[in-house]
């Protein structure tokens, strides 16, 4: 009732409602502010995410991905193969070529447990910082 000055339930006689509204207008700055709306995680969780339907390793570290929405992309993943999980894929091309689609996750995975974000692969979001971009951003500061 405080935010809109409308009754939450039931009805008030017109005179009583007018008195409450007049009093509230006079004291509006003293009344507690309504809480900010909470983050609704159901919106984030219900958002469509890209899902990969097929993967084909091509030359070097390039893969051809087909997404559930019909989009096909050829992506060179060499620049993303850093860190303890991905470095073995860079060091062993045969291991890299064992990439497959995990149907449950809707993304590509490798036998060593590595996987990649399908939304980033689809092009909807930027990838996380790579060592090269991290060095460049730290050099600017």
pLDDT in tens, 79-90: 899 999 999 999
Q: Which residues contact 20 (CB under 8 A, 6 or more apart)?
A: 5, 12
Which is higher by pLDDT, 118 or 41? 118
Reported residue count of the chain is 141
Which is higher by pLDDT, 15 or 84? 84
Closest C-alpha to 66, from 105, 18, 118: 118
Instruction: Give the domains, in start order, of the chain with CATH numbers.
Output: 1-36 (no CATH), 52-140 (3.30.2020.10)
- What span, in angstroms and rounded, lies between the C-alpha atoms of 117 and 86? 13
What is the average pLDDT across 109-125?
91
pLDDT higher than 60, residue 71: yes
Compute CA distances 125 → 12, 50, 67, 119, whole Å.
52, 11, 15, 6
| Reported confidence tier of residue 131, pLDDT bands at 50, 70, 90 | low
| Reported confidence tier of residue 46, pLDDT bands at 50, 70, 90 | very low
This prediction has a pTM of 0.59
Beta bridge mates, 100: 109
């Amino acid at each position: 009732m405080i935010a809109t000055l409308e009754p939450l339930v039931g009805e008030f006689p017109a005179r009583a409602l007018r008195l409450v509204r007049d009093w509230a207008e006079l004291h509006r700055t003293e009344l507690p502010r309504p809480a900010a709306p909470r983050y609704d995680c159901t919106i984030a969780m219900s958002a469509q995410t890209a899902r990969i339907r097929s993967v084909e390793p091509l030359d070097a570290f390039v893969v051809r991905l087909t997404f559930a929405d019909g989009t096909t992309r050829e992506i060179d993943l060499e620049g993303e193969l850093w860190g303890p999980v991905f470095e073995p894929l860079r060091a062993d091309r045969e291991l890299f070529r064992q990439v497959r689609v995990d149907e449950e996750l809707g993304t590509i995975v490798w036998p060593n447990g590595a996987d990649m974000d399908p939304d980033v692969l689809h092009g909807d979001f930027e990838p996380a910082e790579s060592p090269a971009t991290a060095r460049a951003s730290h050099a600017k500061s």
